[in-house]
Amino acid sequence: MGKDNEGVARRRCLHTVKQKRAIVRSATARGNIKATAREYDIKPCQIRDWRKNLMGPTDETSSDNNDDEGIIRFEPFSTRTSKRRTRSHGRMSTLPADVKETIEEHVKYLGSSDLNINVKAVHRFVTSRCPQYAASITNAQASEQKIRRYLHRNAKLVERRYTRVAQNTRYDEDVVRDYLSSVNNFVWDLGIIDPHLLLNMDETSLPFDQPKSSTLALRGARTIRCRTTGSSSSATVCLTVSMAGDKLGMLIIFRGVPGGRIEKELRLLDAQKGDGHRCIVQQKNWNDERGMRAYVDLIIRPWVGGRRMTSLLLLDDMSAHKCPPVIDALAQHGVEVDIVEPRYTGRVQVLDVGVNKPFKDRVRCLWENWLHSEMQRCPNVVPKVTRPLVREWAVVAWNEVTAVSITNTWSAVGFRVN
């Protein structure tokens, strides 16, 4: 018999997840892993691996219960692992105890409510609730980094994405230099010596619902959820800046029927505010020839006033920007137009380079604060974003964009006014 079985390979036995969990429970109840391994004809290390990988804190009671999968738990930080047998806590967190408690409560609330978790928002909340800690901060970026390390070490929170992110575009620097040289020469030919007369306008979307593409969640969690308003509406805002750091009024385009109820309400709202920002409607909430004519009448004409000097407006390669009626309307106010090099707006258009993102980040911050307050006030009611609210967010965010950041962006791109 022994000779007949010589050379016969041991048959590999495959176990289902349910069988593996049953074996682990049997070994745990018996208190002897080796005896259980001999009974099932497997190696003890397999039982240890199954217990580590399959038996989570909720699996001992129910193997199909995944309700607690995304619960955030804060634990003391330790660097001890199975490969590294030394115990070294490393550099411990210097955050005060009350700050840690505030962070834990707020992050657990955001995680349980499926709201976005990001370090900047947590830092803002902590500084508003802990005035002593806020007064002791000398470097906001360093303070945010402390909170980031604390969340990563003690709660195992890492950055997780909801959707994919587009790749960066590569630019030919020779094309960039040629374009900048042509614009600077055009400015010289027009005799523009005042940086207030060199303008750039660009449209950017303003969604009513602005969740971030990523959140802090447990590593390995299969479902990453985020609670939002669910609104698919959006607006388009036309931003204009000068090389001197001036911020012209915004033109906000909402979806609606021209001449209808929505447009009348927005006109009344603009008249009540009187802050220089104007709202119009368009059937697809995008800028077209009609929108550009409204931009000239409502934004450019008040800015020019009685000035008799030539100015230059940089626009991207869009059909509504290049149509003859718009060019003629701008020329009547002494505004010349130059089209930005196609497909190079991310490199040579000032608003795309350094203004649009800070503006939209501030709008998102206002949206997050509003959403959190509405969820706390009425947890079971989905809040609704209104047009006046979007206009208010845009105005506040636009006022927070500094003139220094605008002038620095013009200089960094490479524009010059002699």
90-142 per-position pLDDT tens digit: 577 889 999 999 999 999 888 888 788 899 999 999 999 999 999 999 999 99
Confidence of residue 326 (pLDDT cuts 50, 70, 90): very high
HSE-CB for 253 with a 13 A CA cutoff: 24
Report if residue 90 sits inside a domain: no
Among 374, 392, 387, 397, CA closest to 229: 374
**56 and 106: one domain?**
no
User: How many CB atoms are located within 10 Å of the residue 2 CB?
Assistant: 5
**184 and 321: one domain?**
yes
Q: Where are the beta strands (DSSP E) in 208-275?
A: 214-218, 234-242, 251-255
Q: Please, are residues 155 and 329 in contact by the beta-carbon 8 Å criterion?
A: no
Q: What is the pLDDT of residue 12?
A: 58
Q: What is the pLDDT of residue 7?
A: 47
**181 and 138: one domain?**
no
Confidence of residue 162 (pLDDT cuts 50, 70, 90): low
Query: Greatest CA separation found in the chain?
Result: 111
> Collapsing DSSP states into helix, strand and coil, what is residue 1?
coil
The first and second tokens of residue 2, run together, are 């022994």
From residue 229, give the alpha-carbon distance in Å to each of 42, 251, 388. Answer: 52, 25, 16
CATH label of the domain that carries residue 322 = 3.30.420.10
Asked if residue 10 has pLDDT above 60, the reply is: no
Q: What is the pLDDT of residue 298?
A: 96
Q: How far apart are CA 139 and CA 151, in angstroms?
A: 19
Quick one: DSSP state of residue 381?
Answer: S
CATH label of the domain that carries residue 24 = 1.10.10
pLDDT in tens, 336-378: 999 998 888 999 999 999 999 999 999 999 999 999 999 888 8
Q: How far apart are CA 295 and CA 269, in angstroms?
A: 18
Report if residue 27 sits inside a domain: yes
Q: Please, are residues 394 and 363 in contact by the beta-carbon 8 Å criterion?
A: yes
Asked if residue 222 has pLDDT above 80, the reply is: yes
**376 and 314: one domain?**
yes
Q: How far apart are CA 63 and CA 55, in angstroms?
A: 8
pLDDT in tens, 66-87: 445 557 777 766 555 444 545 5
Of 83-97, 267-281, 371-385, least confident by mean pLDDT is: 83-97
Asked if residue 24 has pLDDT above 50, the reply is: yes
Q: Look at the chain and report how many structural domains it folds into.
A: 3
Confidence of residue 263 (pLDDT cuts 50, 70, 90): very high
User: How many CB atoms are located within 10 Å of the residue 52 CB?
Assistant: 11
**108 and 39: one domain?**
no
Asked if residue 56 has pLDDT above 60, the reply is: no
Cα-atom radius of gyration of the chain, to the nearest Å?
30
Q: How far apart are CA 119 and CA 148, in angstroms?
A: 6
Q: What is the pLDDT of residue 57?
A: 46
Report if residue 6 sits inside a domain: no
Q: Where are the beta strands (DSSP E) in 112-163?
A: 157-161
DSSP assignment of 270-298: HHHH-SS-EEEEETTSS--HHHHHHHIII
Q: How far apart are CA 270 and CA 279, in angstroms?
A: 7
Q: How far apart are CA 226 and CA 283, in angstroms?
A: 30
**389 and 321: one domain?**
yes
Q: Please, are residues 205 and 356 in contact by the beta-carbon 8 Å criterion?
A: no
**110 and 238: one domain?**
no
Q: What is the pLDDT of residue 5?
A: 47
Q: Are strands 234-242 and 251-255 parallel, antiparallel or unpaired?
A: antiparallel
153 by Cβ neighbours in 10 Å (0-12 / 13-18 / 19+) ranks as buried
Q: Which domain holds residue 54?
A: 15-63
Of 3-17, 58-72, 269-283, 367-381, least confident by mean pLDDT is: 58-72
Report if residue 418 sits inside a domain: no
Phi, psi of 228 (to 5 degrees): -135, -175
Q: How far apart are CA 17 and CA 300, in angstroms?
A: 68
Sign of CA dihedral 369, 253, 305, 274: negative
Q: What is the pLDDT of residue 13?
A: 67
**324 and 227: one domain?**
yes
- Does residue 89 or residue 307 have the better pLDDT? 307
**302 and 359: one domain?**
yes
Q: Specify the pTM.
A: 0.68
Q: Are strands 198-207 and 214-218 parallel, antiparallel or unpaired?
A: unpaired
Q: Please, are residues 96 and 133 in contact by the beta-carbon 8 Å criterion?
A: yes
Q: What is the pLDDT of residue 62?
A: 41
Asked if residue 407 has pLDDT above 90, the reply is: yes
The first and second tokens of residue 294, run together, are 């409204």
Q: How far apart are CA 287 and CA 289, in angstroms?
A: 7
Per-state percent for the chain, helix, strand, coil, to nearest 5: 50, 10, 40
Which among 63, 89, 121 is the end of a domain? 63
- Does residue 14 or residue 240 have the better pLDDT? 240
The stretch 140-162 carries a mean pLDDT of 86
Residue length, the chain?
418
Average pLDDT, the chain: 85
Report if residue 298 sits inside a domain: yes
